[in-house]
Amino acid sequence: MNAKAISMNGLLLNRAVLVLNTNYAPLTITTAKRAICLHVTEKIDIVESYLEEIHSPSIKYPLPSVVKLRAFVHYNSMDVVLSRRNLLQRDNHTCQYCGKISGKLTIDHVIPRERGGRDLWENLVIACSPCNLKKNNLTPEEAGMPLLKHPRRPNRIHYFQKFVKQHQTGWKPYLFMETWGTTIKNNPSYLT
């Protein structure tokens, strides 16, 4: 395999894959690389594939886009894990004070930690370094820096929807972004 093919496969293997429970409830997002490992070990079925394929001299492998677990996972929570990556996703990689999207982005405690502000979705926002420095140990009101929007705890479906870019059209039926596919039409009970 030439260098170009290897780097292309590398990019494709990092492509986001939507993981569904056995009842088609969206569970998490993983990489194509991990999804292929789970497929090889028969933990999942591939429900949708991207147009591209993974190539090596001996094999051609479909690039999974949506996969479904073979064994049901009991997971009732629709909460999204609080992490830097997920905060960036919620806030669209945008400073919530000045709207800047470039430069070094940091995590700001709206109510500063030193003043009892906790690590909660409702108290954490993405801020550019200059805004974070300027705000320092003040509340937005004290600093005269109003937030662009009120920080909220995201719900899992909204969170997954944000991952849908041009490549992820195959995800839409599973995230209520278009008409129900026939396979999931009768199975929305996990949302209630």
Binding site for Zn ion (CB under 5 A): 95, 97-98, 100, 128, 131
Residue 124 CB, nearest distance to Zn ion (Å)?
Answer: 15
Shortest distance (Å) from residue 152 CB to Zn ion? 19
Provide the minimum distance between the beta carbon of 112 and Zn ion in the complex, in angstroms, as a whole number.
16
Closest CB 158 distance from Zn ion, rounded Å: 24
DSSP codes joined into one string, 48-104: EEEEEEEE-SS-EEEEEEEEEESS-------BPP--HHHHHHHTTT--TTT---SS-
Q: How would you label 127-143 residue by residue, b for 16+ Cβ within 10 Å and e otherwise? A: bbeebbeebeeeebeee
State the Cα–Cα distance between residues 92 and 78, nearest whole angstrom. Answer: 20
Nearest to Zn ion of 129, 183 (CB atom): 129
Please identify, using beta-carbon distances, which residue of 147 and 191 lies nearer to Zn ion.
Answer: 147
For Zn ion, the closer CB: 93 or 185:
93
Shorter beta-carbon distance to Zn ion: residue 48 or 108: 108
Burial of 119 (0-12, 13-18, 19+ CB in 10 A): exposed
Q: Which is nearer to Zn ion, 117 or 130 (CB)?
A: 130
For residue 145, give the amino acid letter.
Answer: M
8 A C-beta contact, residue 148 and residue 97: yes
Provide, rounded to whole angstroms, the least separation between the CB of residue 101 and Zn ion.
Answer: 10
